[in-house]
A and B are shown apart, each in its own frame.
Chain A
């Protein structure tokens, strides 16, 4: 009995501490210090560069604010922290932005559309040569991630459904070793840099990748809408820093590319290879055009249907309309009274017009 009582006490203290931490308020209102989270991905490496080189500080100073850029090792954890109110902004994909913060009631704005995956996510098979050969396969992937979405789109393209395959949730850190060394694993869906390694396995074939569904897996800088509204300087500083870096990248600044390559654990050639399958929007005008095109609503329609069918919109969601999405082309998706994900081209347009 004494043991279990001690355990209980530990539990009580632990929970109390966790609750106290969890409840640090997600304050909006005017403030001068902001925290932005990012994690490793080819298209997000500039944020690390901005933090390391003082480029972010330069832009923050210009608007009289303070922006702290924090790297989080675990991508999902970074989004959860943002959703819980620990950060004012965070990098994530369009699908995760919808299913984690937006579905969790945190009104979020996609401030910067940095790129879309154009081959960075893919399906690799050991035994087959085409998507149709996925039938009956056991597929290792990170369930409920964009990999899962990619698989659903691929299966759909050959009139298969998820019932025709067996999905095994496998952590992204283990996908490479499992696929290369275990006869258990014959099919995987993953993203770069893991994708490049599994595709290089002898006899393996990449049967589908995100270049087959261009513009559907979008990488965003998402900022809390209320914070952004009360502090327009934050949006301007982030956008300003971002497009200064994009200009450098587009010009092929070797020092910057090498810095980012090192930070992502590869070399210059490896990083360039990852960028080749990442469709970066180097110019703010391009990004703004992408966001304002009617295609975005069609993409988000696919994404929200997938998310709803997989239960990602949460317990309260009885239909896919539960979480409203606003896109600049003027269309609303879902509940107009509950818009929680907003695509906004205004800040990028300011950058395009050189008004920052």
Chain B
């Protein structure tokens, strides 16, 4: 029985190995093709040598840029993360307030649910030209794009989850004499907060996408700005580490939110990873 492949489990070390394998494979593939191209053309920019990438990272992350006097990687990261932070914070606040309101109060649901459903179906990227015209090219339009893209999803997700709270629980709270406000603060909020955080985790990908798209179109700094700027002269030695860095930041944010969730509601993660 135990010999069936579905019953065999990798040990800790072996799991680590299998996990690392795709990364190693990509690295090896990159090295092979990079070496091939560089042998033919030592100045090839498409697949720069790892040493070139390392030099560039050193320059971007640890030395002052001559033109702006800033350390580019940190300045770009700070700009992008603050935009992302504002966008996600506003979206979460809207998601929480409108989601709970719409899920719990039939009148709010009747008033808001149809329009939110429609808004959530508008592809945010299609709105970008309009956003730039109505909110200017500054920070505001970039934050608004993230909010437009992320908030409707959070609202709908949360509203559905509030609606799925068993009616017995709500009735029980009412028989115990709880007011609507007490139901919100004592019953709905504590059960919904971890769900909001989970929804936020799922929104990180789209949020980064909207951020980088906005930065690609008009910006003075930011991770997306840098990538689209140096794309002009095919500086893969900048683009590749920036992509890796964005991925790492996104991973850390996801991990941070998951940890936060475990902290504030340990009972929810019973059994699950």
Contacts and interface: CB of A to CB of B under 8 A. Distances in A.
Nearest to A162: B67
B220 A167 contact: yes
A170 B218 contact: yes
B237 A168 contact: no
Interface in B223-249: 225, 228-229, 231-235, 237
Given A19-B29, A83-B234, A104-B44, A183 B37 contact: no
Contact of B219 (A25, A26, A142, A169): A169
A295 to B, nearest CB: 25
Contacts of B231: 76, 80
B45 interface: yes
Interface in B174-200: none
Nearest to A105: B43
A137 B47 CA distance: 38
Contacts of A168: 137, 218-220
A12 B22 contact: yes
Interface string B36-54: 1100111111111000100
- What is the predominant secondary structure among interface residues of chain A facing chain B? mixed
B216 A171 contact: yes
Interface string A65-88: 000000000001000100110000
Interface string A1-25: 1001100110110011001001101
Interface stretch (B76-84, B117-125, B128-136, B154-162): B128-136
A177 B22 contact: no
B8 to A, nearest CB: 18
Contacts of B89: none
A169 B232 CA distance: 12
Contact of A105 (B22, B41, B55, B67): B41
B129 to A, nearest CB: 6
Interface string A267-301: 00000000000000000000000000000000000
A315 B251 contact: no
Contacts of A181: 133
B74 interface: no
Interface size classification for chain A: 35 or more
A315 B55 contact: yes
Contacts of B55: 315
A315 B25 CA distance: 27
Interface size classification for chain B: 35 or more
B26 A140 contact: no
A104 to B, nearest CB: 4
B138 interface: yes
Interface string B9-29: 000000000010011011001
Contacts of A184: 136-138
* A-B complex: 9 closest residue pairs judged by Cβ atoms: A105-B43, A184-B136, A104-B45, A12-B22, A105-B41, A170-B218, A181-B133, A23-B33, A99-B233
13 contacts: A4-B254, A26-B40, A76-B231, A76-B232, A80-B231, A174-B217, A177-B129, A178-B137, A315-B48, A315-B52, A315-B55, A316-B43, A316-B52
Given A84-B46, A315-B235, 7 more contacts: A1-B273, A80-B234, A104-B41, A143-B232, A182-B132, A310-B67, A315-B56
Interface of B: 19, 22-23, 25-26, 29-30, 33, 36-37, 40-48, 52, 55-56, 59, 67, 129, 132-133, 136-138, 216-220, 225, 228-229, 231-235, 237, 251, 254, 273
